[in-house]
A and B are shown apart, each in its own frame.
Chain A
């Protein structure tokens, strides 16, 4: 397997506080990597740095051998990186169908899109997608009428429509029922191989179900890396994180 994403000595400071501190991380193509760690460990910030939402103060991020650190967000997205945010963010005034149309972004140029209908011929595929996440009954409903859970699913559908090569998921199962969590795990398992996925998650049951390699973050750096078993044996990890949550409780 070839290296898909490589992060070296990445750091960012917020007013002197190092949210990410000399982080090194390497993810192979088709891999599903879980990123865990206590609150405030810098997991979300790491994803923000990868997708360009936050600018790094030092270090490099190479995506398929190309340096993307501090590039504008839209170029990073075009290079093939998609993101699901911790707080569900969809277009609330647009209908579910329109949300999916926006996310389906094969063509991003303004001139091409002026002559292209807002109702693309690919709509059928998008409808299947809505069906897949259980929103087919809401296609013509504005997203603001959806429940919190449905909004989560809509955002997952947006990611599927975007069809990025590298997908960053920030706590995708937050607020989901047990069943929904299983379904999300199933989707992740189905996507891996074809897509590279980095999942930030607190739910250890979920991590168990999908995780191959887990990276544990603490105070802005990677503390340990390994399989679920290796991680749960690691003394340092127990100390900072698992001691309180308990990887075996899940």
Chain B
């Protein structure tokens, strides 16, 4: 009996340490502005936090459910466009062009606001769209993929292709989307009497608080029974079915929640950057998210978040000097290869391992599996 009690506290203790670590991180990002009175830098850090958020969303689907979504930037970009459309319609007429039309529509000889722009007069509807358009797309795509039992690298290819299609569509439909230039010259976000100037503490706090809430929401999901089943699916998809779980529904759920968080992150990105652009749903960004996630540790929500902040931060710092900018992609590629080869669970896995060494036998969830398991495959999984 004592043995059971001791073991139970071991697993509870692990959860407690995890929650405390997450709280520490959230506290750190929330008090950070007290030590930094530089709106320019705050804006930059808010940007990194947003990138951390979308990467955390990928960790939920990739790290926990084994769904390598190479189109993660799709949800992000759609969220960002939703916010940009709403803010564009809120600009004072001077910026908006004649007859209340956004300026780029006027240049493209559009005469009437397209029907799908109408709902964005309402900020509430825009925010709903920023969340639910990505979610609905994820459900539809997930339905086709997971009902058809598509797994592993094919999921990666399909999601990537999907991203490319939407990206091209947005660039192509310049009359309605602003094309290459995206949607620029936006009004400031305002709600509940707060103004969110991109270069202000209020925007930073909006981002930091959103990230904290999403982080804890996602953590709660991973700690639920559904979260456990997702991890079981990642491990051995087929076996889960024989316990009576409809695997496809769980996978669709994971992808949708991930899409929702990415959509929120995308909306925040527009507020921070003050524009939306096709690069927000481009292949390079999407692949960067995967790299950040792998570097930080895809099986740790916080690890993935910090991975994005650190790597994107490094990129930001290096890009100050022109010489480094060109080599950046090379450096990033090298980091990715090193992590895949030597740290299959990223920085979080490394810290986990060190902590285990320091504190003795603990619960070692993260396996130091072979590098090849970075992309889940069906092989060696059939019972």
Contact = CB atoms under 8 A, between A and B. Distances in A.
B249 interface: yes
A122 to B, nearest CB: 11
Contacts of B239: 85, 89-91
Interface in B353-383: 363-367, 383
A85 B381 CA distance: 12
Give chain A's interface residue range (CB within 8 Å of chain B).
35 or more
A110 B225 CA distance: 9
Interface in A95-131: 95, 97-99, 101-103, 105, 107-108, 110, 113-120, 123-124, 127, 131
Contacts of A110: 226, 246, 249-250, 253
B3 A140 contact: no
Contacts of A87: 383
B244 A85 contact: no
Contacts of B191: none
Nearest to A120: B225
Given A51-B242, A95-B365, A142-B367, A117 B4 contact: no
Interface string A219-230: 000000000000
Interface stretch (B194-202, B228-236, B289-297, B311-319): B228-236
B227 A118 contact: yes
Nearest to A170: B383
Contact of A116 (B11, B226, B234, B238): B226
Nearest to A92: B235
Contacts of A145: 364
A113 B241 contact: no
B354 to A, nearest CB: 18
Nearest to B11: A140
A91 B235 contact: yes
Contact of A92 (B3, B223, B364, B367): B367
B287 interface: no
B247 interface: yes
B221 interface: yes
A137 B3 CA distance: 8
Given A97-B11, A114-B253, A91 B243 contact: no
B253 A142 contact: no
Contacts of A158: 243
A202 interface: no
Given A73-B242, A74-B244, A127 B4 contact: yes
A74 B250 CA distance: 12
Contacts of A74: 241-242, 244-247
B240 interface: yes
B181 interface: no
Contact of A118 (B8, B228, B242, B253): B228
B243 A77 contact: yes
A102 B241 contact: no
Contacts of A73: 238, 241-242
Interface in B212-228: 221, 223-228
B10 interface: yes
A95 B10 CA distance: 12
A58 B85 CA distance: 57
B109 interface: no
A234 interface: no
A144 B235 CA distance: 11
A216 B116 CA distance: 67
A56 interface: no
B3 A115 contact: no
Contacts of B363: 95, 140-141
B7 interface: yes
A117 B39 CA distance: 42
Given A93-B235, A120-B225, A77 B244 contact: yes
Contacts of A97: 11
B223 A118 contact: yes
Nearest to B240: A102
Interface string A18-51: 0000000000000000000000000000000001
A14 to B, nearest CB: 15
A78 B244 contact: yes
Interface string B1-42: 001100110110000000000000000000000000000000
A137 B229 CA distance: 23
Most buried by A among B242, B244, B383: B242
Contacts of B238: 53, 73, 89
A82 interface: yes
Given A73-B238, A137-B3, 19 more contacts: A53-B238, A72-B246, A82-B243, A89-B238, A91-B235, A92-B235, A98-B231, A105-B244, A105-B245, A107-B225, A108-B244, A113-B224, A113-B226, A114-B225, A117-B223, A124-B4, A139-B7, A140-B10, A162-B243
Interface of A: 51, 53, 72-75, 77-78, 82-83, 85-87, 89-95, 97-99, 101-103, 105, 107-108, 110, 113-120, 123-124, 127, 131, 136-137, 139-142, 144-145, 158, 162
22 contacts: A53-B242, A53-B383, A72-B241, A74-B241, A74-B244, A74-B245, A77-B241, A87-B383, A89-B238, A89-B239, A93-B367, A95-B11, A99-B232, A101-B228, A105-B244, A108-B245, A114-B221, A117-B224, A118-B228, A123-B8, A158-B243, A162-B243
